[in-house]
């Protein structure tokens, strides 16, 4: 059992592993080339954030069974490649929460009071009391973008300073946030009302450049911005312009789009920008916690087969099961589609499976449905292991039910989503070994392949509606790949799903919504 440890992880990690019979090699500053060359000799790899465990590295690790991340994020590990190769990926959630929250608060205070700048100026022999006049936190409004563990810890600490806390997190119910004395608001309202903004979201396609030129225009004059989450969420060039114009009073950044940060980054030249080199989690306590935690998790895996902190264990275990992978992919597609059709908040999800084959896989199918749903609805990475916990944290109640055989489909997955009195439903099946199909939405039996750009709309069942819609598609130079139609039993209302080749603009979707007889139109991206 050979373990390779990189990135200067606290020595307690190696000590614990050696005490439990592991052969440990430590290479704290290993290059990508050397890692690729030697990884084939090791069963396990433990990293922090510096080592990028790419698909190329994973393919070279012919003996790899496990990749451990001494920290919460796993964005430096290609989880898809690891899963494909049957390699378990583990992290240590919560180990550095307090350190990251405290660093965020320190950065906020420093930006408000210009502490680093005043220190540097004083050490140069100056005594400029008026130059470094700051602003108080008491009575100010703090916007928290992403209300996960770190965001909540920041909120409780800054509330002690007398700050009013508001937040944006589409997966957190209002009552859950209210219990924390936090007011949930739409994203644009956060930007409009905030005196301070702190980012606590992961980086993905929905959050990249989340704060940029357009959002700066919504903000108050003199807003202060803190980012100790991930680089790339803030457009750095736009931030530099906003600071130079005075729109943003100050910024405090621990993370950058490119790390190590380049010397010519314009933010480094601005006096009112405070920077640290991605050290929010770099405290003695946090380093020890995550080092001990990952070592103990690996020992537990060796002794008892327990997969605490594993982010892809179910996928690894079930990827080889004949016929199951297609249903897991279907469940993710159903969850992702429902997330784009249903209201922004939900308090209950019920996952139904029918067919004897699916009965024993009910739990992992539910996890897959949650993953598809949460991947669309929130910015944090979701996997089969953490899906249930994340749903609970977001206030979503879960039920898993097994139905009798469906008369029309041998195996069927249905998902119901509730928000008070409103309920949406979607169902699907697999034809043959891998032909995934959505076969029902609400009361409509409508069959189509969940793939690409799909326009789904409801309309009064009368002649001419689909002709009008297809004419709009033609005007926007979009080819129709597939059309599915359905009517309710009374033949008064219809649903249409149109799969198109190419991107659907907001203007086109609005035009479809405005067609006489169309009551609602949604764009689903899969």
Q: What share of the chain is helix, strand, coil (3-state, %, to 5)?
A: 35, 25, 40
Coil, strand or helix at 521: strand
| DSSP code per residue over 10-36 | -HHHHHHHHHTT-EEEEETT--HHHHH
Q: Is 44 exposed, middle or buried (0-12, 13-18, 19+ CB in 10 A)?
A: buried
- Residue with tokens 């700050």, as numbered in its chain: 163
User: Which tokens in the block code for residue 83?
Assistant: 């899963």
Is residue 33 annotated as a catalytic residue, yes or no?
no
Given a contact cutoff of 8 angstroms between Cβ atoms, the answer to whether 427 and 414 are in contact is: yes
CB-based contacts of 202: which residues, under 8 Å, 6+ apart? 73, 75, 146, 229, 230, 379, 380, 381
Phi, psi of 372 (to 5 degrees): -60, -40
* Cis amide bond preceding 342, omega within 30: no
The catalytic residue among 34, 213, 217, 259 is 259
Q: Is 474 exposed, middle or buried (0-12, 13-18, 19+ CB in 10 A)?
A: exposed
According to DSSP, residue 310 is labeled: B
CB-based contacts of 173: which residues, under 8 Å, 6+ apart? 345, 347, 394, 395
The catalytic residue among 278, 393, 414, 418 is 278
H or E element: which one contains 195?
Answer: none
Q: Is 343 exposed, middle or buried (0-12, 13-18, 19+ CB in 10 A)?
A: exposed
Coil, strand or helix at 71: coil
The catalytic residue among 48, 69, 103, 230 is 230
Alpha-carbon torsion 145, 149, 150, 156, what sign? positive
- Residue with tokens 């004897």, as numbered in its chain: 356
Coil, strand or helix at 408: coil
Is residue 230 annotated as a catalytic residue, yes or no?
yes
CB-based contacts of 333: which residues, under 8 Å, 6+ apart? 372, 428, 436, 438, 450, 526
Given a contact cutoff of 8 angstroms between Cβ atoms, the answer to whether 79 and 312 are in contact is: yes
Q: What are the catalytic residues?
A: 230, 259, 278
């Amino acid at each position: 059992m050979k373990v390779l440890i990189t990135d200067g992880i606290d020595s307690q990690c190696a000590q614990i592993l050696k005490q439990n019979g592991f052969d440990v090699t430590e290479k704290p500053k290993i290059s990508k080339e050397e890692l690729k060359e030697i990884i084939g000799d090791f069963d396990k790899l433990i990293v922090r954030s510096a080592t990028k465990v790419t698909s190329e590295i994973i393919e070279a690790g012919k003996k790899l069974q496990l990749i451990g991340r001494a920290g919460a994020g796993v964005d430096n590990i290609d989880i898809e490649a690891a899963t494909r190769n049957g390699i378990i990926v583990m992290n240590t959630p919560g180990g550095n929460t307090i350190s990251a929250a405290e660093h965020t608060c320190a950065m906020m205070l420093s930006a408000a009071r210009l502490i680093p700048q005043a220190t540097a100026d004083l050490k140069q022999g100056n005594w400029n009391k008026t130059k470094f006049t700051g602003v108080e936190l008491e009575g100010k409004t703090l916007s928290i973008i992403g209300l996960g563990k770190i965001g909540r810890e920041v909120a409780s600490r800054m509330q002690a300073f007398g700050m009013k806390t508001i937040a944006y997190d589409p997966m957190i119910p209002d009552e859950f946030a209210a219990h924390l004395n936090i007011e949930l608001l739409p994203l644009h309202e956060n930007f409009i009302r905030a005196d301070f903004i702190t980012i606590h979201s992961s980086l993905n396609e929905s959050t990249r450049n989340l704060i940029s030129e357009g959002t700066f225009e919504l903000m108050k004059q003199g807003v202060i911005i803190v980012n100790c989450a991930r680089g790339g969420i803030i457009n750095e060039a736009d931030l530099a312009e906003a600071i130079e114009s005075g729109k943003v009073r100050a910024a405090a950044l621990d993370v950058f789009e490119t790390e190590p940060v380049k010397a010519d980054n314009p933010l480094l030249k601005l006096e009112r920008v405070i920077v640290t080199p991605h050290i929010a989690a770099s405290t003695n306590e946090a380093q020890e916690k995550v080092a001990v935690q990952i070592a103990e998790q690996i020992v537990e895996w060796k002794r008892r087969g327990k997969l605490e902190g594993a982010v892809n264990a179910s996928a690894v275990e079930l990827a080889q099961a004949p016929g199951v992978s297609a249903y897991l992919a279907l469940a993710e597609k159903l969850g992702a589609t429902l997330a784009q059709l249903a209201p922004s908040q939900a308090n209950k999800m019920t996952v139904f499976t029918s067919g004897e084959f699916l009965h024993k896989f009910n739990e992992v199918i539910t996890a897959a449905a949650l993953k598809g749903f949460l991947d669309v609805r929130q910015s944090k990475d979701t996997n089969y292991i953490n899906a249930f916990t994340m749903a609970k944290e977001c206030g979503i109640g879960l039920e898993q039910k097994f139905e009798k055989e469906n008369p029309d489909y041998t195996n069927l997955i249905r998902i119901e989503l509730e928000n008070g009195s409103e309920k949406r439903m979607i169902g699907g099946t697999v034809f043959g070994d891998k032909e995934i199909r959505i076969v029902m939405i609400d009361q409509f039996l409508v069959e189509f392949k969940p793939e690409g750009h799909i326009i789904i709309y409801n309309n009064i069942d009368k002649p001419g509606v689909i002709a009008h819609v297809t004419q709009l598609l033609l005007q926007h130079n979009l080819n129709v790949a597939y059309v599915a139609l359905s009517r309710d039993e009374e033949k008064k209302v219809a649903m249409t799903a149109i799969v198109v080749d190419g991107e659907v603009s907001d203007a086109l979707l609005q035009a479809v919504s405005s067609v006489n007889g169309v009551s609602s139109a949604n764009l689903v991206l899969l």
